[in-house]
Protein backbone atom coordinates (compact mmCIF):
# COMPACT_ATOMS: atom_id res chain seq x y z
CA UNK A 1 0.00 0.00 0.00
CA UNK A 2 1.30 3.51 -0.77
CA UNK A 3 2.37 5.66 2.17
CA UNK A 4 -0.11 8.22 3.52
CA UNK A 5 0.63 11.59 1.86
CA UNK A 6 1.91 13.33 4.99
CA UNK A 7 4.86 10.88 5.10
CA UNK A 8 6.14 12.21 1.76
CA UNK A 9 5.91 15.86 2.75
CA UNK A 10 8.33 15.66 5.66
CA UNK A 11 11.67 17.33 4.94
CA UNK A 12 14.63 14.93 5.19
CA UNK A 13 15.99 14.80 8.72
CA UNK A 14 19.61 15.73 9.23
CA UNK A 15 21.28 13.64 11.92
CA UNK A 16 24.96 14.08 12.84
CA UNK A 17 25.91 15.48 9.47
CA UNK A 18 24.18 12.75 7.52
CA UNK A 19 21.15 13.53 5.41
CA UNK A 20 18.64 10.73 5.93
CA UNK A 21 15.89 10.03 3.47
CA UNK A 22 12.61 9.23 5.31
CA UNK A 23 14.51 7.69 8.26
CA UNK A 24 15.17 4.44 6.38
CA UNK A 25 18.70 3.14 5.85
CA UNK A 26 19.58 5.10 2.67
CA UNK A 27 22.08 7.73 3.74
CA UNK A 28 23.32 10.68 1.71
CA UNK A 29 26.38 11.83 3.57
CA UNK A 30 27.40 15.44 3.52
CA UNK A 31 30.79 15.82 1.85
CA UNK A 32 33.56 16.08 4.43
CA UNK A 33 34.53 19.58 5.45
CA UNK A 34 37.74 20.93 3.98
CA UNK A 35 39.24 23.37 6.47
CA UNK A 36 41.39 26.26 5.27
CA UNK A 37 44.92 26.50 6.64
CA UNK A 38 43.82 29.55 8.61
CA UNK A 39 40.94 27.63 10.20
CA UNK A 40 43.21 24.69 11.04
CA UNK A 41 45.81 27.01 12.53
CA UNK A 42 43.20 28.59 14.80
CA UNK A 43 41.66 25.23 15.75
CA UNK A 44 45.03 23.66 16.55
CA UNK A 45 46.11 26.72 18.53
CA UNK A 46 42.91 26.57 20.57
CA UNK A 47 43.32 22.83 21.12
CA UNK A 48 46.77 23.43 22.61
CA UNK A 49 45.20 25.79 25.15
CA UNK A 50 42.30 23.49 25.97
CA UNK A 51 41.03 20.16 24.68
CA UNK A 52 37.44 20.95 25.64
CA UNK A 53 35.42 24.00 24.64
CA UNK A 54 32.50 25.37 26.63
CA UNK A 55 29.38 26.14 24.57
CA UNK A 56 29.96 29.93 24.41
CA UNK A 57 33.61 29.36 23.43
CA UNK A 58 32.56 26.96 20.71
CA UNK A 59 29.98 29.43 19.40
CA UNK A 60 32.53 32.25 19.37
CA UNK A 61 35.24 30.19 17.67
CA UNK A 62 32.80 28.92 15.05
CA UNK A 63 31.62 32.47 14.32
CA UNK A 64 35.21 33.75 14.06
CA UNK A 65 36.21 31.01 11.64
CA UNK A 66 33.03 30.93 9.60
CA UNK A 67 32.28 27.33 10.59
CA UNK A 68 29.21 25.79 12.16
CA UNK A 69 29.31 24.86 15.84
CA UNK A 70 28.86 21.23 14.79
CA UNK A 71 31.97 21.42 12.60
CA UNK A 72 33.98 22.84 15.51
CA UNK A 73 32.57 20.26 17.92
CA UNK A 74 33.38 17.34 15.63
CA UNK A 75 36.85 18.70 14.84
CA UNK A 76 37.61 18.81 18.57
CA UNK A 77 36.20 15.29 19.08
CA UNK A 78 38.33 13.93 16.25
CA UNK A 79 41.41 15.81 17.45
CA UNK A 80 41.01 14.48 21.02
CA UNK A 81 40.66 10.93 19.80
CA UNK A 82 43.71 11.30 17.51
CA UNK A 83 45.66 12.90 20.37
CA UNK A 84 44.80 10.07 22.79
CA UNK A 85 45.82 7.50 20.18
CA UNK A 86 49.21 9.19 19.78
CA UNK A 87 49.67 9.44 23.56
CA UNK A 88 48.91 5.76 23.93
CA UNK A 89 51.66 4.90 21.45
CA UNK A 90 54.04 7.02 23.49
- The pLDDT value recorded for residue 5 is 55
Whether 65 is covered by a domain: the verdict is yes
Whether 14 is covered by a domain: the verdict is no
Whether 35 is covered by a domain: the verdict is no
- The pLDDT value recorded for residue 8 is 47
Full residue range of the structural domain in which residue 82 is found: 53-89
- The pLDDT value recorded for residue 90 is 83
The number of folded domains in the chain is: 1
Whether 23 is covered by a domain: the verdict is no
CB 17 within 8 A of CB 70: yes
Whether 30 is covered by a domain: the verdict is no
62: left (phi over 0), alpha (psi -120 to 50) or beta: alpha
Whether 61 is covered by a domain: the verdict is yes
Whether 67 is covered by a domain: the verdict is yes
Whether 8 is covered by a domain: the verdict is no
What is the model's pTM?
0.69
Q: Is the dihedral of CA 41, 42, 47, 48 positive or negative?
A: positive
pLDDT per position in the chain (90 positions), as tens? 655 555 445 455 554 555 555 666 677 888 889 999 999 999 999 999 999 999 999 999 999 999 999 999 999 999 999 999 999 998
34: left (phi over 0), alpha (psi -120 to 50) or beta: beta
**For position 84, which CATH number holds?**
1.10.10.60
- The pLDDT value recorded for residue 41 is 98
Amino acid sequence: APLPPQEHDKPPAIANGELRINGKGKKLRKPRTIYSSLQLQALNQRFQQTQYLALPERAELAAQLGLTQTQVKIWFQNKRSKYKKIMKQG
